[in-house]
Structure formats: C-alpha cells, structure tokens
Structure 1
Amino acid sequence: MQAESYSNPFVTSPVASFRPIAQAERIETVDILRGVALLGILMMNIPVFAMPEYFSKSFRSDTDNVNFWVDAVVTVLFEGKMRALFSMIFGVGILLFTTKKERTGKSVVGLYYRRMGWLILFGLIDAHVLLWSGDILYLYGVCGLLAFLFRNVKPAYLAIGVPLIALIDFTSGTLFYQNMREKLLGYKEAKAAQEHHQTLTEQQKKAMTDWRAIQKEFIPNKAEVAEHTRSMKSNYTTVANYLRPLSWDFQTKYLAYAIWDPLALMLLGMALYKWGYFAGKWPRRRYIQIMLVGYGIGLPLVIFNYYNSYTHFPNVASRLAYMETHAISWMSLIYPFQRILLVMAHASLLILLIQSGAAQRFLKRLAAVGQMAFTNYVMHTVICTFIFFGYGLNYFAELQYYQLFFIVVGIWVLQLIVSPIWLRYFQFGPLEWCWRSLTYWQRQPLRHQETALNA
C-alpha cells in the first residue's frame, strides 16, 4: 500500500487517516542527537555483555592501569549522559508523533498506546529471546505510556516536574538503600549471636535468610561469580536460564524504582522541544552559555564524585561498611545534578557544531544512525551476544576492559557506514518499518517511491 492511500477520503478509520512522519518533516538535529546517544550508550552496555561481576576490582584504584583511565573517561563524560540524552529525545519523539496528528481533531490515544504496546513487546523479545538483560525498550515503552499524559502541559510545568520526579527517584532509591541496610544490620546482629554460640531467634534466622538472598542477587561470592561466568560461556538454553530471571525482576519487581529517571528526562525533552531548543532556534550565545555552565560546574562535580568513589569505595566490603554507618547516601545526590549539567553541555555543543556547518558529511551519517535507532539498538544486542556469549564466539570474560572499546568503535563504524546506505534505498530501518506497520495496522511502503518505480 502506498503512502497516498492514507489521505484517501473514502477511508473512514481514524487510524488509517494518519501517516508516519515524512522524510521532509524530520528534524535533522533530533536525528543527530539520537544517533550520538545511541552510539554512546553502547560504551556503557558492552561491559554488561562482556564482563563478569566485579570486573573492575583489579583496576578500580590502580592509576597505573590503562583500564582505570578508560573507565574514568567513560564514567566522567558518558556514563548516564548518553542514556539521559536518549530519554530526552524519546520525549521529543512523543510530541513529533502526536502533535500534528492531534491538530486534525482526531484522537491519537489508541494509535499511540498501540505504538507503545508494540515497543513493550519488542523489549520483551530483546530481553527474553535475544537475551539482552540491560534492555531499555520495555522500560521506555512503559514510561512512554506515562509521559504521553503530559504532552499538552506547558513546558515550564514540564521542566518543574523534572526536579519533583528526581526527588521521588532519590526517595525511592533511599528507601531501597535503607531496606538493604536494615537487612544488613539484621544479618550482622544474627551473625554476632551465632559466633557467640547463642541460639538464634526466629527473627534472627529470618535476617540471615533475607541477607543471603540479597547477597545472591546483588553481591554474589566468588563461587557464584564463577558459576555465572560458566553459564554465560555455555549454550543458549543455559544463558537464557541465567539471564531471563534477571530481566524479569527488572521488568516487574524493580520497575517502580526504574521508571522515574527516564520519565523525568522524557518530560525535560518535551519541554526543551516546545521551547525550540532541539530545533536550534535559540540564539547561539545561549547554547554557548549552557555549554560553559554545564562543563564548568558539571565536570568538577563528576570528577569529585569519581575520585571519592575510587578512593573510598574500592570494593564491595567498603561499600557495605559505609552502609552500616550511614542511613542515607547523600553523595548520590551529586549524580543527577552533574548528569543533567553535562548532558545539556553535550547537547549544546552538538547543536553548535550542527549550526556551524562543519563536518556535514559525518553529521549526516549520525543522523542516519539516529533515524534507524531502533534497528541499530537491537543490532547492538545481536552483535554483542554473538561475540561474547557461549553460543556465539564465546569471548565473555576473555578481554580486558579497554579492549572492549575496539569492538565498540568497530560497531560504530559499521553502523555509520551501513545506516546511510540503507536509507538511500529505503524510507525506514527494517525494525522501524515493522514498528510503523504494526502501529498503523497497515503495511507501510518501505522503499523510496522513486526506487520502487525504477525497480
């Protein structure tokens, strides 16, 4: 079915009267920022694909180790910032999808919720079939359902909602921390009684059981780490049996803790889009000011945070000792501030680069990667599971940390080459096409019209 049929006056279905965003309607700046975020996220994801628990223990406080400095650069400049940018652009995507459609006077609710429903399903497939335990498609689908409700809110109120949600996020994280601390203290008390050959009460026995469950899930011992590594280097069924429960816990038991951060950032992205920030409509000096403030304040904060972390918390034992004596981890408040400051600085720098007219060919490649972000994200899963998992090339726990980034660069180069070539012949990436067809409940034209006519 060709795109023209969507404006057919004899088609009465409200969904059929809508159409995907045309190529001419795309905002290249948004695609470029999405592409940068998508590629950047791989730097944080690849250790999860490739490395066992506690992989950083050997270089965590060793400033003579190249891995330490690679980790420092990634943590300071990119950790959390790329996912924050991706979340903000997802919020922009909500408005791009809904605003023009709603101007027709027709309801977009059913169409949008169908779109998010399919994204949630794709996330389940990514996590439970392709076995990516760090999948964000499911989480973004759930958060997208909530963010949609705020699409018509004034940008000032959306921006105000960000610190409010950040407060909720900090509160929920503190409650989680305090729950774990309570179990730790209960365990320590029971352990002391046991060492003094005292008969444990039922409450103390429960405290021992509860803490061992926490340890198994969050603080595995050496034997458990070795067992997990053996599982990851085994066949598909064994890997799946290990990873699926982890993914399911994240998607259910811990979902209430996970939704606040991406939701807040989606709302911020919506506000900034309404203000014209992502379209490059602000004066150049304002982008420069945001960049200078972001780097000027954000970099010292994140460097201090990193320094404090590797000097005071080189291992799990030091973190548990801190937990015993501190009911609230106030240092964690630095993270959301430095993260927002740096992601705004990064985004402003990129927008300034786009406005300068420099590196246009490279930026267009980034835009193509961003336009195919869904396909490229799932390709990260396919490529990395093939390289690292036991049923693929079995490189899990075989490489040093810094060596992972040679693979990251290789994947970047691949996607920067393939994405523009694909979009030269097709309107959407393959998964984007599938998602659109399922959303509109009609098969979308995949090839460019002129390409189809010449075929």
Structure 2
Amino acid sequence: MGDDGRTENARLVTLDALRGFAVMGILAMNIVAFAMPEMAYVSPRAYGGDSAADVAAWALSFLLVDGKMRGLFSILFGASLLLIVDRAEKSGQNPASVHYRRMAWLAIFGLCHFFFLWWGDILFLYAAVGCIAFLFRGWEARRLIRWAAGLFTLGVLLMTLLFGGQLFLASSAGDPGAAPSRVTAGEAIRDEYAKIDTEVRDELALYRGGYLPILDHRLDDAAAPFAMVLVNLLETLPLMMIGMALFRNGFLTGAWEPRAYRRTAWRWLPPGLLLTLFLCWLMGNAGFDYLLSLTVFLAWAQPGRLMMTIGYAALLVLLIQRHAAAPWVGRVAAAGRAAFSNYLGTSVVMTTIFYGYGLGQFGAIGRAPLYLFVVGAWALMLLWSKPWLDRFRYGPFEWLWRSLARGAMQPMRKDEAG
C-alpha cells in the first residue's frame, strides 16, 4: 500500500508539474494579447513590429510557444477529466453529475472572465468542449487517438478551405482574364482586411481608456465566447481526447520508459519545428500580410503545433522525472495544482498593468521587453503557490470552484476535517 501511495503521488506530481509548465507557458503566449491590439499577436505588421528585436520576439513566440502551451493545457484538461471521473466512480458518486456540475460552473467563470476582465478567455471554451469530451471517457487509448487524429485533420481542412479560399480569391482577383465575379469577391475580401489597421487604432483608444467603455464593448460582443467554441471545437476536442488517451496509456503520468519518451520527442519535435519554421519564413516573406498570416495561424500551423506539443510533453515528462526530488519541481507542481488561480490571477495582474483603468501601459511597451513581465509573473507563481498549498488544500479559485460544484463549502485548511 505504501508503494502504491508513492506511485500515485509520483503520477500526480508529474501531471501537476506538466500543468505548471503549461500555465506558465500560456502567459508567454498571451502577453502580447494583454499588452497590444489583438491582431498584433498574429502579425507584427499590425503593431509591435518596429524593430528587429520586436520581429525576432514575434518569430520566437510563433516558433516555440504559440499554440503549443495551450495545446498542452488542453491535453492536460482531458487527462484531468478522466482523473476526476475515475475518482468519482471509486467514491460511489455519479461521474456525469460531478463532471457536468464542474463544467457548468467553469462556463460561468469563463463568461465572467471574458466580460469583466479579459477577452482572451479559454475557460468557457474548455467547459463547452469538456461536455462533449466526457462522452468518450470509456474509449480505449488507441481509439481515442485515431478519432482525435481524424477530427483534427477535418478541422485543419475546413479552416484551410475557409481561409485558403479567401486567400485564393484575394490573390487572383488581379489576374488577367479573371471572371468579374471573382474580381468582385477578391476586392471585397481585400477591402475587409484593409480595415484591420483602423481596428487596431480603435483598439488602442479603447484599452487606453476607462473600464466602463471596455465593458460596454464586450457586452456588445456577447456572442464572442460562443463563436470561439465553434472556431476552436475541432482543435480543442481532439487535444482533450489525446489527453484522455495519454492518461490512459500512462504517457502523461510518467509510466513509460525514458527511451520511449526520448523516441517520441525525436519523432515529433523536429518535423513540427521545421514545418513551423517554414511557415514563419512564408509570413515574413509576404510582409506579414494579414490574410496570409490568419490562414497560417488558424489552419496551416496546426499540424506543426500538434507535433511540437507532443514533443514538448515528452521532454517535460523526462525533465520532471529526472529532477523529481528537486525543490524547483515541487514549486512548478504547486503552480500546476493552483493553475486555475494562476490563470485568472495573471489576467487580473496584466490587465491592471496594461489597461487604461490601471497603469495604462497598453501599446506602450515594445514586444521584446514584454517578456520581462512574463518572467516576473513566473516568479510570482512559483513564490506563492507552494507556501499556499503547504497550508491549504486548494488554490483560492480551485476552492471556490469545488465548493460551488459540490453545493457546499469545502474544507480549505489542511488541518480542517475533510
């Protein structure tokens, strides 16, 4: 029993540390979206591309971070879904009731996060997709991976048809002999994307202002969280299914041999990196054209992101296992156990720094120096999470979520009876 306890603890530490790396990495991905207009994340031409250092910062983010940390977080969400379902079954609870109560409250948190704090919320997306992912909880790992690959491929193809079709029309509208209908459609698409520069200026004015105009803008855009679910469903659901499979087969809990993790990293990371590097060159060579950049981000970059996400996961498991006894791994794992609090806390801190109702630094800091804020936030996550969890059972928002989902105040302090 003691050995089983140690094995279970090692499994949970591996998952928690992976989640800690993911929530820290998500900030490295989101920092530009906190500090600059939305389109600046996709293209340095829109904003924050005035210097070679800024363009290099964009390229490094696109190559190494964009989508990979969110992908890892989505995979871990799928793994956590199964972990909670398994625990509910073992304790005699109704797994569906436990899961859907959690997702309902997560959706509410997500909507509050979107409307009252930051437009980049992913919690509502996870809650909505998590309701669907639950339906596959009984599938075995190979079946989950096969279906996830199929759904993911379908999503890439649909996005390619949508944005690639626009790109073709816009690019070929000026061809000699082009049909009038094609010319008209292509010019309309070009005109639509030409509005982005005006939208960037409007966004700068909005987020440099007070809180109420920002809130009013979000309320006017009330359909955005639901649209995000539709746009991201065929990326997020497959990732959650992969997470469920990798939890079932022991990959995410460190049950594989080290050489298997190394083999997985070598199989997926180099080709994913090369594909992403090519797309980075393609966008740069086109002067970071808005339509091409969006096509890359929403369609063509997805396969490379998935490959790199799997490669990163393998390397991180190896790193965690190799340094399992190191104090820093314990701190990363604590940040992962409090990932919900760290994710929401990051939004509070960053919007306060950058928005006009806080310190008013929106659009005022270069792209490259923004990563100093990332390092500072990482330090805060690592400093507060472990001391807090040494004393309390859960992070603050984890406790609130758990209490709401269970319909009763949960014990918070470790010396309270559970």
Shorter-chain TM-score: what band? 0.7 to 0.9
Number of the residue aligned with 1:390: 356
Q: Distance in 1 between matches of 2:214 and 2:199?
A: 15
Match 1:90 to one of 74, 77, 86: 77
Q: CA RMSD in A?
A: 3.4
Letter in 1 for 2:150: L
Number of the residue aligned with 2:266: 292
1:257 is displaced (CA, Å) by 2.0
Q: Verify the 8 A CA contact 1:298 1:337 in the aligned structure 2.
A: yes
Q: SS state of the match for residue 344, structure 1?
A: helix
Q: Distance in 2 between matches of 1:171 and 1:332?
A: 11
1:31-180 alignment to 2 at 5 Å? 31-52=16-37, 55=40, 56-57=44-45, 65-103=52-90, 106-130=93-117, 132-177=118-163, 180=166
Q: Distance in 1 between matches of 2:33 and 2:10?
A: 37
Match 2:231 to one of 225, 244, 257: 257
Q: Verify the 8 A CA contact 1:187 1:211 in the aligned structure 2.
A: no
1:341 is displaced (CA, Å) by 2.0
Number of the residue aligned with 1:29: 14
Q: Distance in 1 between matches of 2:122 and 2:31?
A: 14
Q: Provide, for residues 79-108 of structure 1, a one-character-per-residue CA deviation record: whole Å limited to 9, x for no partner.
A: 111000000000000011001322455522
Change (3 A) 1:398 1:368: same
Q: Provide, for residues 292-340 of structure 1, a one-character-per-residue CA deviation record: whole Å limited to 9, x for no partner.
A: 2223322222211211221124233x739xx9xxxxx699765233222
1:399 is displaced (CA, Å) by 0.4
Q: Distance in 1 between matches of 2:323 and 2:37?
A: 43
Q: Verify the 8 A CA contact 2:21 2:332 in the aligned structure 1.
A: yes
Q: Verify the 8 A CA contact 1:91 1:268 in the aligned structure 2.
A: yes
1:219 is displaced (CA, Å) by 5.2
Number of the residue aligned with 1:401: 367
Provide the aligned length of Structure 1 versus Structure 2: 405
Q: Verify the 8 A CA contact 1:143 1:262 in the aligned structure 2.
A: yes
Q: TM-score with structure 2 length normalisation? A: 0.87
Matched, 1:347 2:313: yes
Q: Distance in 1 between matches of 2:160 and 2:60?
A: 28
1:402 is displaced (CA, Å) by 0.6
Q: Distance in 2 between matches of 1:193 and 1:334?
A: 28
1:255 is displaced (CA, Å) by 2.8
Q: Distance in 2 between matches of 1:25 and 1:302?
A: 34
Q: Provide, for residues 21-80 of structure 1, a one-character-per-residue CA deviation record: whole Å limited to 9, x for no partner.
A: xx9697010000001010101112111111125541189988x71122222222111111
Letter in 1 for 2:311: A
Letter in 2 for 1:101: A
- Structure 2, unpaired ranges of 5+: 1-7
Q: Verify the 8 A CA contact 1:301 1:334 in the aligned structure 2.
A: no
Q: Distance in 1 between matches of 2:25 and 2:212?
A: 30
Letter in 1 for 2:387: I
Q: Distance in 2 between matches of 1:66 and 1:268?
A: 36
Q: Distance in 1 between matches of 2:166 and 2:46?
A: 26
Q: Distance in 2 between matches of 1:75 and 1:128?
A: 27
Q: Distance in 1 between matches of 2:339 and 2:159?
A: 30
Q: Distance in 1 between matches of 2:363 and 2:48?
A: 17
Letter in 2 for 1:239: I
Q: Verify the 8 A CA contact 1:166 1:260 in the aligned structure 2.
A: yes
Number of the residue aligned with 1:303: 277
Matched, 1:234 2:209: yes
Q: Distance in 1 between matches of 2:263 and 2:325?
A: 22
Number of the residue aligned with 1:13: none
Q: Verify the 8 A CA contact 2:39 2:47 in the aligned structure 1.
A: no
Match 1:279 to one of 244, 250, 253: 253
Q: Distance in 2 between matches of 1:319 and 1:362?
A: 41
Q: Verify the 8 A CA contact 2:129 2:229 in the aligned structure 1.
A: no
- Structure 1, unpaired ranges of 5+: 1-22, 195-200, 324-328
